């Protein structure tokens, strides 16, 4: 009986199975889809994300390697980083020329500060020469008025006119100017956290008409922006006392202080720690500086300026003396000394002292005298080069021609009047072969003449309007 029942159960199961199979649609060619759970989807997404991150990291490593190598090639350090960011290369730096410029300090539409500057990114040398604001630029000092002073040219809006007068005065070919409002100077000093500076004397002065109040003590101290302006504008105290004569009185002392302060300001502004404040510095410059230097020119010098050392900065005042003429106080420049200074500071020419040509009033030993004589005998003739044309670029061109041939240029500048013909003046009776050699470097058809030995040079070369013909 039990076996019979079991057989019936099996038969019933087969029937039910056949019925179910008949009801289920069959399609052997269609695969059965399996649904994915949320965990499997997340796992696949994580794998994709990891691959993308790995690719990005690899790209960043490659780019960082390229950037780092360029930084090293461009000199390394802050300079290398900035040069690379600005798209500069070391080869481009080597071909860069120095930049020369006029600096004007503006306050109440007047120029309290006039300086000429240069910077060479290859030699890392720079120079600042102050021009007295009372410098005479007229025709006859005996009939001078206040309008014959160089600071009268600017009048709050004419930097180009001041640039032209400075070029006439110095013989340089300055193309660029930078006009700095004293407000911008205050903001820059505050932005870098103050400037450590040795105030040369006690300063106490008040001028209510300009809202100017100066009150500083002598000595090393950290100056904020307002105090920095006080130092730069000080000339004399309320009681009339001023800088000591050994330092330079009135404007002479003020210009010396201004150059010293600018040197300290540069030294502290160009610290690597201030690299992250460049954006702030640019904002201050945009609001307070007027310049005709194109940004594409300026950016090329920034990477190398950050490594500039103020030990390589030469500073001076254009030589001359103050004098009252026609009831007006003027500053009359000394042409000879000014020519010598421009030759040394802006054309890298040696001084007479460096060449062993200075007259020594003190008695010296025979050995010293013999050395000086030997050095002098090996020198080529010394030259004074004057531009007698309105093309200021010619002076540098001619100076470079003679320097390349080993001649020693002691003086450079402009002539008082324009010259039609290029002229060679023989001042120390040099022989005809030497005269011919000197003449042929500049122009074979140049006029030659014998002149007085009153310029402390062997030859004076005057560039005439025929030079380019």
d(CA 308, CA 266): 9
Top pLDDT among 302 and 451 is at 451
**Radius of gyration of the chain measured on its C-alpha atoms:** 38
pLDDT at 31 over 80: no
Q: How far apart, in whole angstroms, are the C-alpha atoms of residue 322 and residue 132?
A: 9
SS3 state of residue 160: helix
pLDDT in tens, 236-252: 999 999 999 889 888 88
Measured distance CA(157)–CA(149) in Å, rounded:
16
In DSSP terms, 79 is beta-bridged to none
Q: What is the pLDDT of residues 162-182, one digit of tens each?
A: 999 999 999 999 999 999 888
Cα 317 from chain centre: 19
Q: What is the pLDDT of residue 84?
A: 47
Q: Which CATH superfamily is domain 97-333 in?
A: LCP protein (3.40.630.190)
Secondary structure (3-state) at 316? strand
Residue 77, Cβ neighbours under 10 Å: how many? 14
**What are the angstrom distances between the C-alpha of 160 and each of 154, 163, 302?**
8, 5, 24
Query: In terms of residues, how long is the chain?
Result: 469
- pLDDT tens for residues 211-224? 889 999 999 999 99
Provide the CATH number for the domain formed by 350-358+369-463 in this structure.
3.30.70.2390
What percent of the chain has a predicted confidence (pLDDT) above 70? 75
Comparing 283-297, 323-337, 362-376, the range with the smallest average pLDDT is 362-376
Q: What angle do CA 138, 131, 353 make, to 5 degrees?
A: 110
The pLDDT value recorded for residue 16 is 52
* Distance (Å, whole) CA 49 – CA 51: 5
> What's the rounded mean pLDDT across residues 329-349?
95
pLDDT surpasses 50 at 372: no
State the number of CA atoms in the 13 A half-sphere of 76 facing the CB.
Answer: 1
Residue carrying structure tokens 């002691």: 410
* Residue 86 C-alpha from the chain's centroid: 16
Q: Enter the DSSP assignment of 152.
A: G
Q: Can you tell me the mean pLDDT for 8-36?
A: 52
Q: Is the pLDDT of residue 36 over 70?
A: no
Three-state secondary structure call for residue 305: helix
Range from 295-299, 377-381, 411-415 carrying the lowest mean pLDDT:
377-381
Domain chopping of the chain, boundaries: 39-92, 97-333, 350-358+369-463
pLDDT tens track for 417-433? 889 999 999 999 999 99
Q: Are strands 382-387 and 459-463 parallel, antiparallel or unpaired?
A: parallel
Q: Do 245 and 216 meet the contact criterion of CB atoms below 8 Å apart?
A: no
Q: Which pLDDT value is given to residue 192? A: 92
pLDDT at 124: 86
Residue pair 195/180 in contact by the 8 Å Cβ criterion: no
What mean pLDDT comes out for the span 311-327? 92
Among 141-150, 262-271, 329-338, 384-393, the minimum mean pLDDT is found in 262-271
pLDDT at 8 (0 to 100): 53
Give the pLDDT band (50/70/90) at residue 158.
confident
Mean pLDDT of 408-424: 92
Distance CA 123, CA 81 (A): 20
CA distance 44 to 120: 60
Name, in order, each residue with C-beta under 8 angstroms of 371's C-beta and a sequence gap of 6 or more.
356
**Dist CA 446 CA 421 (whole Å):** 7
User: What are the pLDDT digits (tens) for 385-399?
Assistant: 999 999 999 999 999
- For residues 43 and 235, the model is more confident at 235
- The CA-CA-CA angle for residues 92, 93, 98, to 5°, reads 120
Rounded CA gap, 271 and 309, in Å? 10
pLDDT category of residue 414 using cuts at 50, 70 and 90: very high
Taking the C-alpha atoms of residue 206 and residue 208, their distance in angstroms, rounded to an integer, is 6
Burial (0-12, 13-18, 19+ Cβ within 10 Å), 108? exposed
């Amino acid at each position: 009986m039990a076996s019979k029942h079991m057989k019936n159960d099996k038969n019933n199961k087969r029937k039910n199975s056949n019925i179910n199979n008949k009801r289920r649609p069959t399609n052997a060619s269609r695969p059965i889809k399996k649904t994915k759970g949320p965990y499997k989807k997340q796992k696949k997404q994580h794998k994709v994300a990891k691959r993308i991150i790995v690719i990005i990291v690899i790209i960043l490593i490659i780019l960082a390697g390229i950037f780092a190598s360029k930084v090293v090639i461009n000199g390394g350090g802050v300079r290398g980083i900035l040069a690379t960011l600005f798209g500069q290369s070391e080869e481009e730096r080597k071909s860069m020329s120095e930049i020369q410029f006029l600096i004007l300090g503006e306050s109440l539409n007047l120029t309290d500060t006039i300086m000429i500057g240069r910077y060479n990114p290859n030699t890392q040398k720079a120079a600042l020469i102050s021009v007295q604001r009372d410098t005479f630029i007229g025709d006859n000092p005996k009939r001078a008025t206040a309008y014959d002073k160089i600071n009268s040219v600017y009048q709050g809006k004419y930097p180009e006119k001041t640039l032209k007068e400075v070029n006439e005065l110095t013989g340089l070919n300055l193309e660029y100017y930078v006009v700095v409002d004293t407000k911008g100077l205050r903001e820059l000093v505050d932005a870098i956290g103050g400037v450590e500076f040795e105030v040369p004397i006690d300063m106490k002065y008040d001028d209510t008409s300009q809202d100017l109040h100066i009150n500083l003590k002598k000595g090393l101290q950290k100056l904020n922006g307002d105090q920095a302006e006080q130092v730069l504008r000080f000339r004399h105290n309320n009681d009339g006392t001023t800088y000591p004569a050994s330092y330079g009185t009135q404007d002479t002392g003020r210009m010396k202080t201004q150059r010293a302060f600018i040197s300290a300001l540069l030294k502290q502004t160009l610290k690597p720690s201030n690299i992250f404040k460049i954006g702030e510095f640019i904002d201050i410059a945009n609001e307070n500086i007027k310049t005709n230097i194109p940004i594409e020119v300026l950016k090329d010098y920034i990477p190398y300026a950050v490594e500039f050392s103020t030990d390589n900065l030469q500073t001076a005042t254009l030589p001359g003396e103050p004098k009252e003429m026609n009831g007006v106080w003027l500053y009359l420049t000394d042409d000879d000394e000014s020519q010598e200074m421009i030759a040394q500071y802006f054309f890298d020419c040696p001084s007479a002292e460096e060449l062993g040509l200075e007259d020594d009033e003190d008695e010296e030993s025979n050995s010293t005298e013999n050395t000086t004589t030997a050095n002098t005998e090996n020198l080529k003739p010394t030259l004074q080069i004057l531009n007698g044309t309105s093309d200021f670029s010619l002076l540098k061109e001619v100076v470079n021609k003679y320097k390349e041939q080993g001649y020693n240029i002691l003086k450079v500048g402009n002539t008082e009047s324009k010259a039609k013909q290029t002229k060679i003046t023989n001042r120390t009776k040099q022989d005809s072969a030497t005269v011919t050699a000197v003449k042929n470097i500049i122009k074979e058809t140049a006029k030659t003449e014998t002149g007085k030995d009153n310029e402390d040079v062997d030859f004076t070369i005057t560039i005439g309007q025929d030079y380019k013909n």
